[in-house]
Structure 1
Amino acid sequence: MEIGNIFICDYKKLDGITTRVVDEESVYVASGFCLFYLNSNKELLPIAIQLAQRPAQDNPIFLASDSDSDWLLAKMFIKNADYLEHQGIEHLLKTHMLGEVFAMATLRNLPSAHPIYKMLISHFRATIHINNHVRNQLLGPAGALSLSSLGSEGVLELMRRGLSDLKYSALCLPDNIIARGLDTVPNFYYRDDGLKLWTVLNSFVREMIKQFYLSDQNVAEDKELQDWVKEIFIHGVFGNPFSGFPSTLETTNELIKFLTMIIFTVSAQHAAVNNGQFHYQGWIPNSPPLLVKPPPNKKDKISMESIVEALPNVGHTAIFTQTAWTMSFNYDDVVPLGLNPDDHFDEVFPRQIQKDLLNELHFLGEKISERNSKLEVPYNYLNPSYVENSITI
């Protein structure tokens, strides 16, 4: 523990949320913990699972050394919790819904001639449309999240809890990685590729801002810009001062970081949490949205038959798998990160900076592809060629 080889996932946000009723019985959602160990082979492996927050005799700690059936079902329940947090908080809340806040604030406060509008508007293509689809379909009566263990109301409550303690630093990847103690974990390609993408985007934004804001005073005195960031603060985090979200931007550095966060969130971060869903959630036992039997409360009582009985029925399984496939699907009109078919800049320098960005993204993509060629399981979700410019699905 002292040298940083122990990690923990804590699913306390799920504790106490009313779950869905299946066959007149409320289903169970694990709100406990999963302990991981970074072994001498540099593998991060689960070694212990507790399925509820409070210790009790009927809440045993399952170990990797337990029977195969006990350990498998414990992992399935903790993966059910992980699926719900992933969809409700990491995917919908932190990318889709915040992306809509960014888009609406931009449309309502920045005129089309404003340089920040020109920089951002291509990153909001189809976001409001797809979010309406999420509300009507994914959270609708027959949607995958409505059929999940929490149901639509439970997922919305989870999102409320996620929003109540959302921090600005959680959306800024360099800050987030350090805060979570993940800066030295080996073979962590999301971190490695994400930080490189953040650096490329940050350099692009910095060069752009230098063209339009010659001093900190220019930033502080831009009323349209200040109205824009204030609206994001009010409608994004409900004016929560403990979130760390800025309600004003006083310097060019603050503006550069804020813009980098927005572009990264609606492009790279969404790609990271969205594009691999079918690969990892398409096989339902690996990431079950719903488990219909209660979790084990004693060891050595689980059989393979009882594990199969805990899985959702064929109809629900088909809906969950089809949803994971649809959300991971690339459409014909995808606009990759860095491309702006409707270029809003007429000036020479901004156009050149955009070309420089494309070159940097192409170079990074080649490096990622070269690394992936040596991996048994390539990590391609943050390869710029596969990162969409906006949230469209």
Structure 2
Amino acid sequence: MVDYEVTVYTGDRVNATTLNGVHIKLVGTDAESERTWLRTLVIFRGSVSTYTVSCPNSLGQLVLIELDKRQFFLLPDDAWFPDQVEIKSPEQDRYIFPIHCWISDRETHRFREGKALRIFDESNSLGQYAREQELSQRSTDYDWDLYYPGVPYTIKADGPLSLPDEVQFSFTKTTEFAFTAATGLAELQLKGLVDNKENWQNLDNINYVFRNKDTPLSDYIQEHWKEDGLFAYQFLNGVNPTLIRCCKTLPKNFPVTDDMVFIPDGSSLSKELKEGNIYLCDYKNLDGMPANTIQGMQQYLMAPLVLLHKRPDDKLMPIAIQLKQTPAEDNPIFLPTDSTYDWLTAKIFVRSADFTEHQLNAHLLRTHLLAEVFAVSLLRNLPMVHPLYKLLIPHTRYTLQINELARKQLIGPTGVFTLFAASGGEALTMILAKLLSSITFRSLCIPDDIVDRDLHGVPNFYYRDDGLHLWNIMFKYVQGVIQYYYKSDDEIQQDSELQTWIRDIFEHGFLSQPQTGIPQSFTTVPELIKFATMVMFTSSCQHAAVNSGQYDYGGWMPNTPATLQRPPPTEKGTTSEATMLATLPPINVTVQGMATVWLLSRQSSDFVPLGHYPEAHYTEETPRQLQIDFKAELDMLSIAIGNRNQGLEIPYTYLDPKKVENSVAI
């Protein structure tokens, strides 16, 4: 007889303990063991337990293990969360089997040895069979569903709790998320605000909504929201830094002239355009979209154009606003020299349009929905043993469940966005379909996007600065891992699983639209490196940039109204404080929006920062060292960002690696 020393590591998470009997079978190249009961009555969370599995002869090289659990008599049938199994063979070889998933049924679960293998590396039929069986089951568990024509496909599920256990929230995440949502709503109900459909009589009363939940920045926004400097600053470092671009030729539908605008130091608009000091924000994607009806009242959603000027002191300032796309007598160009409320009202309509552009484009579509496409395709097409699965799986954590919740509670028929936003209802899916057709691969890669928007010369653009640093650090890490496993372009082309993965993304994420520039296949190692970097960046850094500041900038409703209930002025001199208050959303719509952005800005206690890998999917020394180096570079960047922020009036923290979550998890 020969003995195998089996060490089982159980995850240190709530409900990971099992009272069920756990069995293991070792499968090698020469033979397999008997199904063996691990002789213990309880396997506790966080425990490390060692057992012996005896066999008549050596099993050869271990290829996989099989785990199952069975209920003991009257004891409850529960779930178990093993992190990994480590086995020492009679030949003193050490094998590590990463697991990191729940086992909650009575089925037999197979897990491969931890060394990453591409499909053409499989040297025996046993490994190939296990690979095929895993992907066959995953293609059933992770199927596609058409959410709406023209919109990226989603996972097929009957709600969050129908998702496979391995992608659901932890107990901690579930409890905290529900508690946070309930306490926020309960507070508003106690204050009598949830059902109050009256308009605000003065802005100071908005302080009463969430007085104890203010952040330093939300307080700053409340104090300075009317100022032109803060209005312009938000296009660079607010929650939607993805729209602004350098403008050297004015759009034909935005007829601003030299004599309309004031340019300091005796310059002119024409001169500043040539010198690259003029910037444009164009909300053309919202043009013609039907605005929602809320509580029986027609709402208003504009598609404005905004012109900004970089002054000699490097400060960006707005110089002209047109609220509709087509020039007309009843569509005036508003200027800072207009009356106080004309100019402020124009800016409010821009900020409301920016709410829609941010939530539907920069946030929902370009991070949440695309991250879901990347996750579903990964889980369907790449087995756990594949090197790219190991690279990307940490960046899918909780994404499928948070999106299922969003489809129910935010953008579903009774969701907050549907009921209380100008772009909810019929307009929502129309806008998403229009936006998807305009996405390009280059716009998802921040170095290319900054070049295409010609934004290298903008001062005080911290989203750009921190984002480019993060991209470069991430690119270096991804490059190291992929080049370790793929030595030539031929190996990329031979990997049929890799090709299926990208084809699935092209078809179900980008609806087979070639103009997006999304690859339909991979032919070179650099192509794969860039695409994998984009997937990681989108699912972590980009989401943090457009999500984490939602309450900072939206906690003071007048700065980011989700809807407006009066049309924009058609001539100058017709606005006042009273018309502004009547234009802003009523009390109950305001508090629903504020409660939502507060919830979506909360960080869970089981938050996993970028570069942290609590679940060890790689077992080889080289990729593990690359992860250590990756984290070290992120730590250095975090220190640099912290030092810079000490000198800023408004610190930019959203891309500090310590505050970037590894995945789209909220």
Normalised by the length of structure 2, the TM-score is 0.58
Distance (whole Å) between structure 1 residues aligned to residue 581 and residue 313 of structure 2:
33
Q: Displacement of 1:114 after TM fit?
A: 0.2
Superposed counterparts of 1:234-313, under 5 Å: 234-313=507-586
* Match in the other structure for 1:331: 604
* Match in the other structure for 1:65: 337
- 1:363 to 2:612 alignment: no
The percent identity for this pair of structures is 46
| 1:114-150 superposed Cα distances (whole Å, 9 cap, x missing partner) | 0000000010001000000110001134533211012
Distance (whole Å) between structure 2 residues aligned to residue 210 and residue 56 of structure 1:
57
Distance (whole Å) between structure 1 residues aligned to residue 366 and residue 600 of structure 2:
16
2:285 corresponds, among 1, 13, 18, to 13
Larger Rg: 2
| 1:244-286 superposed Cα distances (whole Å, 9 cap, x missing partner) | 0001111111010000000000000000000001011111110
- 1:37 to 2:309 alignment: yes
- Residue range with higher mean Cα deviation, 242-251 or 132-141: 132-141
| 1:92-132 superposed Cα distances (whole Å, 9 cap, x missing partner) | 00000000000001001001000000000010001000000
Give 1 or 2: higher helix fraction.
1
What letter is aligned with 1:163? Answer: L
Distance (whole Å) between structure 1 residues aligned to residue 294 and residue 627 of structure 2:
53
Distance (whole Å) between structure 2 residues aligned to residue 345 and residue 248 of structure 1:
25
On the 8 A contact 2:334/2:342 being kept in 1, the answer is yes
SS at match of 1:145: helix
* Match in the other structure for 2:421: 148
Normalised by the length of structure 1, the TM-score is 0.98
Aligned residues: 393
1:46 corresponds, among 318, 331, 335, to 318
Distance (whole Å) between structure 2 residues aligned to residue 156 and residue 378 of structure 1:
35
Distance (whole Å) between structure 2 residues aligned to residue 181 and residue 152 of structure 1:
35
Distance (whole Å) between structure 1 residues aligned to residue 471 and residue 415 of structure 2:
34
State the structure with bigger RCO (CA 8 A, min sep 6), 1 or 2. Answer: 1
1:2 corresponds, among 246, 263, 274, to 274
What letter is aligned with 2:281? Answer: C
* Match in the other structure for 1:27: 299
What letter is aligned with 1:102? Answer: F
CA RMSD of aligned residues (A): 1.0
What letter is aligned with 2:626? Answer: I
Q: Displacement of 1:22 after TM fit?
A: 3.6
Distance (whole Å) between structure 1 residues aligned to residue 641 and residue 332 of structure 2:
42
On the 8 A contact 2:300/2:563 being kept in 1, the answer is no
On the 8 A contact 2:547/2:601 being kept in 1, the answer is yes
On the 8 A contact 1:88/1:156 being kept in 2, the answer is no
On the 8 A contact 1:145/1:155 being kept in 2, the answer is no
Distance (whole Å) between structure 2 residues aligned to residue 287 and residue 182 of structure 1:
24
Distance (whole Å) between structure 1 residues aligned to residue 555 and residue 300 of structure 2:
21
Gaps of 5+ in 2: 1-272
* Match in the other structure for 1:113: 385
On the 8 A contact 1:84/1:155 being kept in 2, the answer is no
Q: Displacement of 1:153 after TM fit?
A: 2.7
| 1:333-384 superposed Cα distances (whole Å, 9 cap, x missing partner) | 0000011111111111111110011101001100000100111110000000
Distance (whole Å) between structure 1 residues aligned to residue 510 and residue 311 of structure 2:
39
What letter is aligned with 1:200? Answer: I
Write out the 4+ residue segments of structure 1 that deviate beyond 2 Å after TM superposition. 22-26, 140-144
- 1:208 to 2:471 alignment: no
Gaps of 5+ in 1: none
Distance (whole Å) between structure 2 residues aligned to residue 367 and residue 153 of structure 1:
45
What letter is aligned with 1:63? Answer: L
